[in-house]
Amino acid sequence: MATIENSYFRNELEDRRKRLLSVTPAGESESTIRQLLVNVDAALSRLQAGTFGICESCHESIEADRLLCDPLVRFCIDHLSQEEQRALERDLGLAAGIQRALLPPANWSFDGWEARYHYEPAKLVSGDYCDLIESNGSFLFLLGDVAGKGVAASMLMSHLHATFRTLASQNLPLHQLVSHANRLFCDSTTAGQYATLVVGRAWPDGKVEYVSAGHLPLLHISPSGVFTKEATGVPLGMFCTTNYPVCQLSLAPGDSLLLYTDGLTEMFNEAGCEFGVERVHSLAKRHTAAHPEEMLSACLQEIRSFSAASKQTDDLTLLVLHRSH
Ligand SMILES: [Zn+2]
């Protein structure tokens, strides 16, 4: 394990050791505290011996996000005891329920606009982010992808959700909204944690503005063609002081926007071919007049037949915004 991580875990463990020693245990808690001290000392010895972070059963690396949450873990996820497995499944089930409750309503509409989305975690919880927020005669649409998967990514996803929900009520111009969110995200994450994200605002007259923080191209689908809109800035959380230029669009009645995460483009088939942005583009071209629900099911049908027997390895989210009148 890298030296910098070693010193991080050593500090963490020594801090925990101090805290345990400062407790004056009463009654039953005495043996618990004593056992915890033994476990902390054992973890410090593993650091010394160079076996910290290695599963005692299979000798592979233990998942980094689990070690960060609990430096005392000694087994990888595949080698937990049955009791630990059951506890973990219960926790993940709860986390998945909390995450589902953060999603916008399934059949969402707002003054001439309709939105439909598909949200599918690769496992129980997802690092993908999707939200729709009405604010001051317009609405915000947000779709993003937190780097990584699993519990750590899902916690950052709910953090983003809370940040944007709070900022949305303040009626800030879009570039300020994203800059604030970026700084808050930078302040509350560790190095290497970031999120790619599209944040947009749409009005009843079809006017749309958006920022794409390092996210995959969004597609403007209209009868005259499909237009690709590339990222306008770097991912959120990468640099604390950066600008997020805002782009403008105008959607006529019948036009749509398609947003997606890399669970779509990075889907592989059995031959090892990637689905890719080009396939999303040509798919959109074949469904320019589709209702958002049809667009979604066409996308899903196409990726299911493309990936057929391959297992979904990444979180997948699609969002279609449609200007109905
Ligand atoms: Zn193992």
Tens digits of per-residue pLDDT, 45-57? 999 999 999 999 9
> What's the CA-to-centroid distance between 79 and ligand 1, angstroms?
5
- Is residue 50 within 8 A of residue 27, CB to CB? The reply is no
Ligand 1 centroid to Cα of residue 64, in Å, is: 13
74 CA from centroid of ligand 1 (Å):
9
CA 66–ligand 1 middle distance (angstroms): 13
Q: Is the pLDDT of residue 22 over 80?
A: yes
Tens digit of each residue's pLDDT (9 = 90 or more) over 254-293: 999 999 999 889 888 888 888 899 988 998 988 887 789 9
Closest by alpha carbon to 145, among 208, 88, 194, 100?
194
Q: What is the pLDDT of residue 66?
A: 84
For residues 301 and 306, what is the distance between their CA atoms, to the nearest angstrom?
9
Q: Distance from the CA of 110 to the center of ligand 1, in angstroms?
A: 50
Q: What is the pLDDT of residue 289?
A: 75
Q: Which two tokens stand for residue 299?
A: 């996308």
Interval between CA 57 and ligand 1 midpoint (Å): 5
Instruction: Place 187 in a pLDDT band, splitting at 50, 70 and 90.
Output: confident
Higher pLDDT pick, 240 / 133: 133
Q: Which amino acid is at 272?
A: G
pLDDT of residue 91: 86
- Distance from Cα 63 to the centre of ligand 1, integer Å: 10
Digit-coded pLDDT (tens) for 241-259: 888 999 999 999 999 999 9
What band does 65 get if pLDDT is binned at 50, 70 and 90? confident
Give pLDDT, residue 271: 83
Q: To 10 degrees, the CA torsion angle through 42, 48, 53, 58? A: -80
Q: How far is the CA of 253 from the centre of ligand 1 (A)?
A: 55
**pLDDT for residue 311 is more than 90:** no
How far, in Å, from the CA of 38 to the mean position of ligand 1? 22
Ligand 1 centroid vs 54 CA: distance in angstroms?
8
Question: Is 221 or 307 the better-scoring residue by pLDDT?
Answer: 221
Q: Which two tokens stand for residue 315?
A: 């979180």
pLDDT over 70 (residue 191): no
User: What pLDDT, on the 0 to 100 scale, is given for residue 171?
Assistant: 87
pLDDT at 23: 85
In 3D, which of 205, 198, 34 has the Cα closest to residue 132? 198
94-121 pLDDT tens trace = 888 988 999 999 999 999 999 999 999 8
Q: Is the pLDDT of residue 170 over 60?
A: yes
- Dihedral pair phi/psi, residue 171, rounded to 5°: 50, 45
Mean pLDDT across the stretch 174-193? 87
Q: Is the Cβ–Cβ distance between 303 and 264 less than 8 Å?
A: yes
